[in-house]
Structures are given as C-alpha cells and as structure tokens.
Amino acid sequence: MAIPDYQSIMLPLLKIAADGDVHRFRETVESLAGHFALTDSERRELLPSGKQATFDNRVGWARTYLAKAGLLESPNRGFFRITDKGRDVLRENPQIINVQFLERFDEFVNFRQLRRGRLAAETSGPPTGGVQDIQDTPEESLEAAYQALREELAAEILRTVKSCSPEFFERLVVDLLVRMGYGGSRREAGEAIGRAGDEGIDGIIKEDRLGLDIIYLQAKRWEAVVGRPEVQKFAGALQGQRARKGVFITTSAFSREAVEYAGNIDSKIILVSGVRLAELMIDHGVGVVTEASYELKRIDSDYFSEE
C-alpha cells in the first residue's frame, strides 16, 4: 500500500500506547510499518531533502500532534506513553483520529492557531487551511513550497538562456562546467570551447584540473527536440577523435530514441536537456543569487546528555 499520511497514523499509534507502558519511538515506527504492510522500498523512501525517511517523519508528526492534544506524553526524549485523556479517547472507540478530531481539545486548538499565525506572518498572508496544510507534515509542506519555487526558477532560467546569443550560451556552458570542477581554470576552459565546424564537436574541456582526460562537448541552443541523428553524429565525431567521453548540452530536450541510443553505445555520452541544465545552474550557483536562506534545525541530544 502507499505510505499513509500522518493523520492515518494517529489512531494506530495511540492504540499501540494503550497498554500504558513507556514505548520507544524507533521501535514503534517499525511496528507501525508492519501494521501498514509497507514494502522495503516504501520504508526507504525519503523526503525530497534526502535527510529523513518519509514514513518516519509522518509517524513523528502523528506523535507530536497527539501530544499537543494531550493524548500522549514524553517522559524522556525518544519515548512516549498514553495519558488519561488518551485512554478516554480510546474508550470512545473512534474509527479515525485526525486533525478535525483533535480540534475538540483546547491545547491542540491553541497549538494550531499559534502555528498558523506564524505561517501567516512569515508569508505575509492569511493561512490557507487547505488540503496541503492538513495532509502534509510541516517538513513536507516546506519542501513542497521549495520545490515549487525551484521549478519556477528553473523555468525562468531556461527562458532567459534561450533568449541569449549563441556566444553567451557557450560562455554559460564553460562557466557551469568550471563551477562543477571541470576544465581547470576559467581561461583554459574558455579556450577549449567554441570551435565550430570541428566534425560535429563544438569544443573540448579537461575532465579534471590536471587534464588527465578530455571530454568533448556539443552545446546547442535549440528549440526543437534533439533526435537520434544529432546524437549519432556526435558519437561518430567522438570515434573520429578516438575519444571515449562526451557531453551533449541543449536548451531543448532529447527524443526517446536519442536517449536510448546514447545509453547503448560504447562511448560514454551524457545528455543534458534544458531542464537539467537549469537545475545544474541552480545547484552550482551559475546565473542565480541567493535571496534568502532558512535553516531547519533539530535538538542536539548530546548537548543535553548528563552522563
């Protein structure tokens, strides 16, 4: 089955605590994974940041919300147990516990209002109270917003790159590859690219700063999809130079046949589409500036250890 959202985890989590014992959070996560019959791949699925397992994050927030409503308490970090209020809830034999259910408790309402007020202040607008706010954990909402901003930025970068001159595009490619660690110095890389009419090869660049190997480049500022014939021509040019590695960069996209062809030949040819080019520019700080930076922090358990 699909990974459940954090609200679907609330009732099974509270039932695990029904015995009144103190439960270790890590062990409970594994018990709930079995309860929901999650596959190994679902257990390994990470949040977009790659820092935490999606299911673990959702169990964590289910526990937090139950605690904010007063149904669970944490005697020690990493442990939890049910409260008298939590037992009363289970005696009602609820079919589901979700955010709407928890809003009967004043402590939870106050927590939600405080959180929404902070979000409104940070975004200079009223809280939406929409589906994403309800279904996603705070980390998932934050990362979804980040991804949306990143995708819009990538689209804007690509539109701008397509409006630039071919000469500027060549310089952009050089700047990006140098920023990624290729080509030695900017001056050396700049001398290597822009050689038009070289049997289908636009330029060369060092794979490393010592020049132990050479990568051949083709950079095309195109609107049309790049098909197999263009990639095949580039592969032939590599063979003519007895070259083993090539990078084909375009502002458009590659056809499925082109991608399949590049993956089946002996030469190693990396295809960089316009979308991927924009993503690499963002990742390596080419043509973009940092407008704001936010740090997501967690408690340092070692600091509070008195042993």
Sorted by where each begins, the domain ranges of the chain are 6-136, 162-283
Distances (CA, A) of 168 to 187, 252, 273: 15, 16, 17
Please give the CATH topology (third level) of the domain spanning 6-136.
Arc Repressor Mutant, subunit A (1.10.10)
What crossing angle do the helices spanning 54-68 and 25-35 adopt, rounded to 10°? 110
Note the pLDDT of residue 243.
79
Is it true that domain 162-283 has CATH number 2.60.40.10? no
Say if residues 99 and 7 touch (Cβ distance below 8 Å): yes
Note the pLDDT of residue 20.
95
Amino acid at 225: V
Tokens at 307, concatenated: 């042993």
With 0.95 as the threshold, say if the pTM is over it: no
- Per-10-residue mean pLDDT, the chain, length 307: 91 96 95 95 88 91 93 90 96 95 92 63 41 67 83 90 87 87 66 52 74 82 92 89 87 94 89 95 93 77 65
Bridge partners of residue 270, in order along the sequence: 247
User: CB neighbours (10 Å) of residue 210?
Assistant: 8
